[in-house]
Amino acid sequence: MKDISFEIKIPKIKLSDRLKGNLKAIFSILIVAGAFVAKQNFEFTFFDTLVLIYFGISILWKLESRISAVLALLFLVSCPILLIIKNDALAELFAIYAYYFLVITVAGEIMALKNEKNRPVDNLPRQAKEKIV
């Protein structure tokens, strides 16, 4: 029997910076529209919709994950304070939002690591090259 093997090569499409910016703007509008459609269909609150929009925009525009990490920590720190003052419902809601922002942080860090791994070593500063090698 003959061994049949083949490789599918997908060509990389090079886009201009202006076209990339326009596509990102279009996708940003689609993210906002999709979040409001989800709000109607899944009975999200307005803040849930804003979190969903932030998640999509942070992935699309590769925002710093430090922002979402700080928000997650703020929500997480507020939970015990709310439990002390006997506001259990709000503490539970803030714990859910802390979890959402932790997920956004992890997704952003995974994307950053993926982008860093694909970057050629030749473009890195000398100190970074020494750490890799």
| Average pLDDT value for the chain | 88
Is 1 domain-assigned? no
Contact 116, 124 (CB under 8 A): no
Is 7 domain-assigned? no
Supply the angle between the helices 65-84 and 88-118 in degrees, to the nearest 10: 160
Domain tally, the chain = 1
Is 83 domain-assigned? yes
Contact 65, 112 (CB under 8 A): yes
Task: Indicate the pTM of the whole model.
Answer: 0.76
Which residues constitute the domain of residue 87?
17-124
Closest CA to 61 of 29, 96, 97: 29
Res. 78: pLDDT tops 60:
yes
Q: Residue 10: pLDDT band by 50, 70, 90 thresholds?
A: confident
Is 2 domain-assigned? no
